[in-house]
Structures are given as C-alpha cells and as structure tokens.
Amino acid sequence: MFEARREKIFVFGITIVLILFSIIALVPLLSVIATSFSSKSAVDMNLVTLWPKQFTLDSWGYIIDRPDLWKSFFLTLVTTLIGTALALLMTALLAYPLSKPEFRWGSVIMIGVVVAMIFKAPIVPYFLTVRAIGLYDNPLVLIIPHILNPFNLIIMRTFFKQFSKELEEAAFLEGCGYFRMLFQMVLPLSKAVLATLALFYGVVLWNQFQHPLFFLQNPDWFPLQIKIRQFITDDNVILAGVTSMIDQNYNERTLRAATVIFAIVPIIMVYPFLQKYFVKGAMIGSVKG
C-alpha cells in the first residue's frame, strides 16, 4: 500500500517535470507559428507573443506562391527517397560479403572502412576529389557522396553476422546462390536494421546543407535547407534606396516564421511513425561490436 503510493507520487512528479519540459519546447514553436500568421505591423511593433495579432494569411500566401521553394521542397524529397533506397542497397551489398568469414579480402576492406570512418578527409582534397569525379555543380552530389556510410555499414554487417547459419546452409544445399540468398532470404528478414538505417540515411539527406553549399553553384538545384537559410539570414541591405511602396502585409520576420514551419512539418508528420525504430536502431550493434 505504502509502496504503491510512493510510486504514484513518483510517477506524478515525473509527469509534471515532463510536462514542464514540453512546454519549454513548445513555447518557441508556438511563438513562431503565431508570428507566421500575424500582420506586418503587429510584428514590426513586437506585439506578437503566443497568439497571432491581426490575423492574416499573407505570409503563407507568399510562401505557397513561391515556385522556387516548392521546387526545393520536391527536390529534397526526391533526393531523400532515391538516396535512401540507393544507400540501403549499396550498404547491404557491401555489408553482406563482409559478414562472411569465407570472404578472403574481408578483413582488408574492413580496415579500409574503419580508416574511412575515423579519419575524415580534409576539405580541400575532398573538394578536389569530388570535383574530379565530375560532381561539381552536378545535382548528383546531393545523393552520391551519401550512399555509403562506414558507421552504418558496420551496423549492418554486425546484424548480418547474427543471421542464422543453419538457415543459410540449408538454402545452399538447395542450390541457392549468394545473391539470391541476400535478396530473398537475408534482406526480407532484416527489416529492423533496414528501417533504422533508412532513418539514419534519410535524416542526413533531408538535412544536408554543407555539401550542396560547397558543390552546387546553380541555385536551381539548391535543396530546401539552403533555401530556408536564405530566408532566415538577416542580411543588411547596404543601400536601401527607394523601392516602390511596400504594400505587402508581411515582412522578413513573418516570412521567416512561415518558412521554418513549412520545412519542419514533413518531419513532424513522419517522426511519430518512425520514432520506435530510432530507439531500436540505436540498440542494434551496440552490444556485439
């Protein structure tokens, strides 16, 4: 009886603390949302806190109307989807042989993988290499450098190593080759690791910023994160001059707010469905290294 009560108090306390934390996390988000729905002058005069003042959809109208933002959005979406699929394929194709003791070169390649993971290439040689491969100012740079990550490779290899040997031997006896084994037996039974790595790769691809910044010159190929960054930075206009009168009911701050929301909505919508894999994924490979 006493124990149960203490436990209740404990749970209650934890709940309160967590609620407070989520309020702390939510308040800035609410403020940004409120700003995105407020009028120019209300925002100019610092009147907006948690609720929109002089409600207007003008900022959102502007955002929705901007074709380049949508273009970036779809570009990012497509590169993330294709990139993730390719990345899983490449990773599996290398991880599977590496998990087989009978693969003679396995240990050598493994050393190469570990070296690549520990020593990152310095920026100048890396730039020169990527350029030499022909990826400079080429939209493929949004995908190709990301499709094989050593860390993810090791996770997958570890997972494959735990795969039941008896099952494979049985399949071999029936005349099944390595490729068929991988695609028809191992991969279908590895959904947990695939989902996890898909998330790891997907998040990197969705959020990529540095790569396109370095390697792309054509703004048509800019992914969403760079486009947003262009909205967000406060760049001082050197010579304001006289522009034809500002009749819009939005300003930098409201647009900024709307763009930020625009960019996080997809992630927010996907996250709850995938979150469980994140936790599971972090556990895979953590025990058996």
Partner 1 sequence: MIPKKTALLLAAVILAAIALSGCSGNANQSKNTNQNHTNNIDGVVDIEVWGTNIGYKPITKGSPLYEFYKEKLGVGVIHPYVEWNGGTNYLNQLNLKIAANEMPDMFTPQQGIEDSLAKNGAIADLTELLPEYAPNVWEAIPAEMWDVVKANDPTGQGHIYYIPGSVDYGRYAGMIRQDWLDKLNLQMPTTQDEYVNVLEAFRDQDPNGNGQKDEIPTGGRQETRWMDHIFAMYGVAMFEGYPEWDLYGGELTYAAVTPNMKAALEFAAKLYKDGLMDKETLLNDKAKWDGKITSDKVGNYFHWVEHLNLNLENLAKNTGVKAEFSILPIPKVEGYEGFYTWKRFAPPQWVVKNSKDETKLKATLKLLNNMYDKDNWKDLYLGVEGMHYTMKDGKAIKLPDDKSTMENQVLNPYSSSATLAFTKDLYNDTASDDSKWAIEQLTKNMDEAQKYAKVIAGDGISASIYEGFPDINNRTLFVEYAAKIILGQYPISKFDEFVEKWNKSGGEEVTKRAREWYSKVHQ
User: Could you list the residues that contact partner 1 (CB under 8 A)?
Assistant: 40-41, 43-46, 66-68, 105, 107-109, 111-112, 123-124, 127-129, 131-134, 136, 213-214, 217-219, 226, 229-230, 233-235, 237-246, 248, 252-253
Q: Which is nearer to partner 1, 21 or 209 (CB)?
A: 209
Least distance in angstroms from the C-beta of 69 to partner 1: 9
Q: Which is nearer to partner 1, 95 or 257 (CB)?
A: 257
**Contact between residue 32 and residue 232 where contact means Cβ atoms under 8 Å apart:** no
Q: Which is nearer to partner 1, 138 or 274 (CB)?
A: 138
Query: Please, what is the angle between helix 191-207 and helix 67-98, to 10°?
Result: 140
Q: Which is nearer to partner 1, 146 or 256 (CB)?
A: 256
Which residue in this structure is represented by tokens 């959102």?
60
Least distance in angstroms from the C-beta of 242 to partner 1: 4
Q: Which is nearer to partner 1, 132 or 173 (CB)?
A: 132
273's tokens: 């469905």
23's tokens: 């309020």
Q: Which amino acid is at 122?
A: P
Least distance in angstroms from the C-beta of 218 to partner 1: 7
**Contact between residue 261 and residue 75 where contact means Cβ atoms under 8 Å apart:** no
**Contact between residue 85 and residue 73 where contact means Cβ atoms under 8 Å apart:** no
Least distance in angstroms from the C-beta of 257 to partner 1: 12
Nearest to 153 by CA among 202, 218, 201: 201
Could you give the CA distance from residue 164 to residue 185 in angstroms, rounded to a whole number?
Answer: 11
H helices within 66-190, ranges in order?
Answer: 67-98, 106-118, 123-132, 150-161, 165-173, 178-180
Q: Which is nearer to partner 1, 233 or 272 (CB)?
A: 233
Least distance in angstroms from the C-beta of 112 to partner 1: 6
Determine the straight-line distance between the first and last CA of the chain, rounded to whole angstroms.
Answer: 44
Q: Which is nearer to partner 1, 100 or 182 (CB)?
A: 100
Least distance in angstroms from the C-beta of 133 to partner 1: 7
Residues in the chain: 289
Question: CB 46: neighbour CB atoms within 10 A?
Answer: 8
Least distance in angstroms from the C-beta of 131 to partner 1: 6
Could you give the CA distance from residue 25 to residue 30 in angstroms, rounded to a whole number?
Answer: 9
